[in-house]
Amino acid sequence: MPQPFTVILVDLDGTVMESASSITGSLATAMEELGHPVPPPARMVEFVGPPLLDGLRDIAGLPDDAARAVLERYRVHYRAVGAFEAEPYPGIREALEALRTTAPLAIATSKPESIATRILEHAGLAPLFTVIAGASDDESRSRKADVITRALELLADRGVDVTRPVMIGDRIHDVEGAAAHGIPTVVAGWGYGAPEETAGAIAIARSTADLPGIIAAGWPRAADRPPGG
């Protein structure tokens, strides 16, 4: 029989916060200032969610030094303006409040931890989360699997039972990063992921209102877990 989840890991961009325009706007400004061509809008949205340094290399095709220079310039703009332009998705506060009665919540985001904390504090959502785990400022920790490791370690330090976690996220990086830990993922269908990015997830929440019911179903049978589970 399915067992209740003991902790709920939640992605930030595309899951809690509608942040695409704030991220892509600051990124486009940084690229223009450093003389790099800005990809078309359809490609710019691909930057939202995964580590930005990877996107600058893989999507924009920038060499490592140029990608790091754009990332630093981006952060100047984003910390000053963009971070405060993101808005919580409609209904996400209510969904998180309901989920919190089921199990502790933790943010696990590829966004730098310091910025993620500021965004959640600005939105008034920070108190809902037991821990906020993210990338390190120097990008040495940015992969979703590594961020999840940090989230689980912080939670364990707080005495939270991490034996049956679940991930909620919108991109394939969330699904794969969680699967590396044997953690099932529920996809946030309102986010920025393409349909093919749901492969390996145990469920798709079509709206924020769907989340409490899906999570209440509990830890899936072993046969239903994603690869690595």
Among 3, 7, 25, 9, smallest CA distance to 188 is for 9
DSSP-based three-state secondary structure for 77: helix
The Cα–Cα gap between 116 and 80 comes to 14
What is the DSSP-derived secondary structure letter of residue 84?
A: G
- Count Cα neighbours of 55 within 13 Å in the Cβ-side half-sphere: 24
Give the CA distances from residue 203 to residues 13, 22, 74, 191, 198, in Å, rounded to whole numbers and listed in that order. 19, 28, 34, 14, 8
Q: Is 224 a catalytic residue?
A: no
Catalytically annotated residue among 11, 13, 146, 210:
11
Residues with active-site annotation: 11
